[in-house]
Chains A and B, each alone.
Chain A
Amino acid sequence: DVKVTQSSRYLVKRTGEKVFLECVQDMDHENMFWYRQDPGLGLRLIYFSYDVKMKEKGDIPEGYSVSREKKERFSLILESASTNQTSMYLCASSPLMSSGPYNEQFFGPGTRLTVL
């Protein structure tokens, strides 16, 4: 079974703090993604990566950065956390080309971040 793990289920930080959210997948997937989920807004793509050291901006990259130094690990960084970044953050991974459902993404359990 594909497993995507996220470092924390719940996190509380203060405004202005630097925040690291870590994601690890164990299926040797090339693609990794970071989303945030907010009520009424669905899943919005922040950043994604097709390969080590590669990154692409998603729909809402402002205020975020990412790091992918190893294939299995994709980190989301909030350089200076703000209250409007309070959200559920979801990491996902997928193979480059799959023999099964095409472009199916596998999600982690999510991190509920609260910025005070």
Chain B
Amino acid sequence: DQQVKQNSPSLSVQEGRISILNCDYTNSMFDYFLWYKKYPAEGPTFLISISSIKDKNEDGRFTVFLNKSAKHLSLHIVPSQPGDSAVYFCAASEVGNTPLVFGKGTRLSVIA
């Protein structure tokens, strides 16, 4: 059973507008959440993370929001740029030295 779900396989947004990527999880033991960005033919690169003790973390144009009661997190990109077009993976981990659990990814297309 999927513990991390990204229910939108794809998202298309106009340049300059906000992109919102969503992620839901089922495991209440998850303590740390990360977003990765992946371009074709490259490995994923770390984008931004949030600990379960916070509800928001911001880094430039990227903001991640965490709603623990709803077991939901979202990544906001403002303003969206064509170079943001990529597949975005949501990932989560429990406390301790455990592997990340990844969602299936959302392909973002930012149209100029």
Contacts and interface: CB of A to CB of B under 8 A. Distances in A.
A48 interface: yes
Contacts, number: 63
B97 A97 contact: yes
Interface stretch (A60-68, A70-78, A102-110): A102-110
Interface in A17-64: 30-31, 33, 35, 40-45, 48, 50, 58
Contact of A110 (B31, B42, B103): B42
User: How extensive is the interface on chain A, given as a class?
Assistant: 20 to 34
A105 B34 CA distance: 10
Interface residues of B, number: 24
Contacts of A97: 97
Interface of B: 6, 9, 31-32, 34, 36, 41-46, 49, 51, 89, 93, 97-100, 102-105
20 contacts: A35-B102, A40-B9, A42-B102, A42-B105, A43-B89, A45-B99, A58-B99, A90-B44, A92-B43, A97-B97, A101-B32, A102-B32, A102-B51, A102-B93, A103-B32, A106-B46, A107-B44, A108-B43, A109-B42, A109-B43
Interface of A: 4, 9, 30-31, 33, 35, 40-45, 48, 50, 58, 90, 92, 96-97, 101-110, 112
Given A42-B89, A48-B99, A110-B41, 7 more contacts: A4-B43, A42-B105, A102-B93, A103-B97, A105-B46, A107-B44, A109-B42
